[in-house]
């Protein structure tokens, strides 16, 4: 009888077509997710004009998706550890595709908001699941790079919405960009056929033949035998309520620190995306359309995410994150001071890299921190708590803008969360991380 350590096998596997396929599918799902989230902001001026809503009501219409994302991240992240990650992913994809398209067919602000809330459940729920999927199946030596490369699709989706939105809205109305968001639902049969299920889930469900086929694709040197036994570590046997598992085995402090970091980072992301253009216009800068800001911010995000992941695979991911949050504090603060326009673009790009990009690297760290059986739950709760920061940011910064404070003070208020996030990440107990737990000597042991 052979005892197979599935995690050691996954950690030591060489990158092949199997890994490339998972990366491609997860990145495509995240691109669709990013498009769905960004599309409301791109179409908002046209929606306000056609529906005749006030700015206050328009803000509620946009924030309804954020509320949905908060609940979706928590509950659809948690349920994945019970029904299987593959099914949770397609449920989320169906939710955000169908209900974003439905929002495009509504003419009432309240119906629109309800549809966006339901779409938000899927938008928020898919994130922790694809991060957990990518983390589980990535070779250890390139894990952070693969997760952040996959998640940079989120920024690509935002850029896609910005680039397509202008032309589609001008020629076919704002509804067209929402209806286009329904197309990804056609991918569901292919995702169910192509994406592998979580390995510990297959072990717990005794679906060993399926597990053996997956292992052979992941690591071609593995040859299935009838006597193979797959033993799960204690950390992968989720007993009782998954949320309670987040605070066991010395993970309590680190879990809270992750929640604070997610909250602060998403606060910065949505503060910038909501108020950057308005603040710069008020300061007398003429930088063209908001589309330029969207592209620069998201281009910086891609560079920050991929670059941060590359650094995290070569240095300690915790230290890389602290440095990235420090960069966010500096770059956002400098946005409040008069600089030449080219320098301002560079600072906006750095702000995108160190906020949106850093958020993606923080997802990667959370994915590495939690054991596989509670990985979706851990990422989902951190993301869900973080969404409250996304909801509060436009309101808090909007209140400060209404107080007519100097420009520097507005950006300083946006930068303070970066300092808090850096301190929080530095307090995470990396020794309790799943990635820091000593592995068995070999992936396969004879008994």
Q: What is the CATH number of the domain that holds 387?
A: 1.20.1250.20
Q: Are 104 and 179 in contact (CB under 8 A)?
A: yes
Q: What is the pLDDT of residue 447?
A: 46
Residues belonging to the chain:
447
Q: How many domains does the chain have?
A: 1
Q: Are 51 and 109 in contact (CB under 8 A)?
A: yes
271 in a structural domain = yes
- Please report, rounded to a whole number, the percentage of residues in the chain having pLDDT higher than 90: 17
Q: What is the pLDDT of residue 278?
A: 64
Q: What is the mean pLDDT of residues 43-61?
A: 71
Pairwise pLDDT comparison (21 vs 132), residue with the higher score: 21
225 in a structural domain = no
Q: What is the mean pLDDT of residues 369-388?
A: 81
27 falls in which pLDDT band (50, 70, 90)? very high
Pairwise pLDDT comparison (117 vs 160), residue with the higher score: 117
232 in a structural domain = no
How much helix, strand and coil, in percent to the nearest 5, is found in the chain? Answer: 80, 0, 20
Say whether 174 sits in a helix, a strand or coil: coil
| Most confidently modeled range among 171-180, 229-238, 345-354, 364-373 | 345-354
Q: What is the mean pLDDT of residues 125-151?
A: 85
133 in a structural domain = yes
Q: What is the pLDDT of residue 439?
A: 43
155 in a structural domain = yes
102 in a structural domain = yes
Q: What is the mean pLDDT of residues 413-422?
A: 92
pLDDT of residue 88 exceeding 80, the answer is: yes
Nearest to 400 by CA among 312, 301, 271: 271
Neighbours of 425 (CB within 10 A): 28
> Domain residues for 419?
2-195+242-428
234 in a structural domain = no
Q: What is the mean pLDDT of residues 363-382?
A: 80
DSSP state of 315: S
Neighbours of 94 (CB within 10 A): 14
- Of 58-62, 176-180, 436-440, the least confident: 436-440
Q: What is the pLDDT of residue 421?
A: 94
56 falls in which pLDDT band (50, 70, 90)? low
Which tokens belong to 207? 């679906």
pLDDT of residue 1 exceeding 50, the answer is: yes
Q: Residue 419, exposed/middle/buried by CB under 10 A (0-12, 13-18, 19+)?
A: middle
The residue with tokens 């108020």 is: 275
Q: Are 146 and 23 in contact (CB under 8 A)?
A: yes
Q: For residue range 229-272, what is the model confidence (pLDDT) as tens digits? A: 776 665 555 544 567 777 777 778 888 999 999 999 999 887 87
28 in a structural domain = yes
pTM above 0.85, yes or no: no
DSSP state of 2: E
Which tokens belong to 251? 């993970």
- Please report, rounded to a whole number, the percentage of residues in the chain having pLDDT higher than 70: 85
Q: What is the pLDDT of residue 281?
A: 63
Q: What is the pLDDT of residue 171?
A: 78
Q: Residue 303, exposed/middle/buried by CB under 10 A (0-12, 13-18, 19+)?
A: middle
pLDDT of residue 26 exceeding 60, the answer is: yes
Nearest to 65 by CA among 30, 20, 34: 34
pLDDT of residue 203 exceeding 50, the answer is: yes
420 falls in which pLDDT band (50, 70, 90)? very high
Q: What is the pLDDT of residue 434?
A: 55
Instruction: Name the maximum alpha-carbon separation found in the chain.
Output: 74
- Average pLDDT value for the chain: 80
């Amino acid at each position: 009888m052979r005892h197979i350590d599935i995690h050691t096998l996954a950690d030591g596997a060489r990158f092949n077509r199997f890994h490339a396929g998972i990366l491609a599918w997860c990145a495509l799902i995240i691109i669709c997710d990013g498009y769905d989230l960004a599309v409301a902001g791109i179409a908002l001026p046209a929606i306000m004009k056609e529906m005749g809503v006030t700015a206050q009501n328009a803000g509620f219409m946009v924030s309804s998706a954020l509320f949905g994302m908060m609940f979706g991240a928590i509950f659809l992240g948690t349920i994945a550890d019970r029904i299987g990650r593959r099914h949770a992913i397609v449920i989320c994809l169906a939710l955000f595709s169908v209900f974003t398209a439905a929002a495009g067919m509504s003419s009432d602000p309240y119906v629109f908001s309800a549809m966006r809330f339901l779409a938000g459940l899927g938008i928020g729920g898919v994130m922790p699941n694809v991060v957990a999927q990518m983390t589980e199946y990535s070779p250890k030596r390139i894990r952070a790079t693969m997760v952040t490369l996959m998640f940079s699709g989120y920024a690509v989706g935002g850029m896609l919405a910005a680039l397509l939105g202008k032309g589609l809205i001008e020629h076919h109305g704002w509804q067209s960009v929402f209806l286009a968001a329904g197309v990804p639902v056609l991918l569901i049969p292919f995702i169910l056929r192509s994406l592998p299920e979580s390995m510990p889930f297959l072990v717990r469900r005794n679906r060993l033949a399926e597990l053996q086929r997956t292992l052979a694709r992941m690591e071609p040197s593995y040859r299935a035998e009838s006597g193979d036994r797959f033993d799960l570590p204690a950390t992968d046997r989720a007993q009782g309520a998954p949320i309670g598992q987040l605070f066991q085995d010395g993970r309590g402090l680190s879990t809270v620190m992750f929640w604070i970091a997610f909250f602060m980072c998403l606060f910065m992301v949505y503060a910038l995306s909501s108020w950057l253009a308005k603040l710069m216009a008020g300061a007398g800068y003429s930088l063209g359309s908001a589309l330029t800001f969207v592209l620069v911010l998201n281009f910086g995000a891609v560079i920050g995410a991929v670059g941060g992941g590359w650094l995290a695979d070569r240095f300690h991911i915790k230290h890389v994150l602290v440095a990235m949050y420090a960069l966010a504090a500096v770059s956002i603060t400098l946005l409040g001071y008069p600089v030449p326009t080219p320098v301002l673009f560079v600072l906006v790009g750095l702000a995108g890299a160190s906020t949106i990009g850093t958020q993606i690297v923080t997802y990667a760290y959370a994915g590495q921190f939690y054991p596989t059986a509670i990985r979706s739950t851990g990422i989902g709760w951190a993301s869900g708590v973080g969404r409250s920061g996304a909801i509060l940011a436009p309101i808090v910064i909007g209140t400060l803008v209404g107080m007519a404070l100097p420009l520097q003070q507005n950006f300083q208020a946006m930068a303070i969360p970066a300092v808090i996030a850096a301190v929080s990440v530095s307090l995470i107990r990396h020794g309790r991380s799943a990635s820091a737990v000593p592995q068995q000597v070999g992936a396969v042991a004879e008994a």
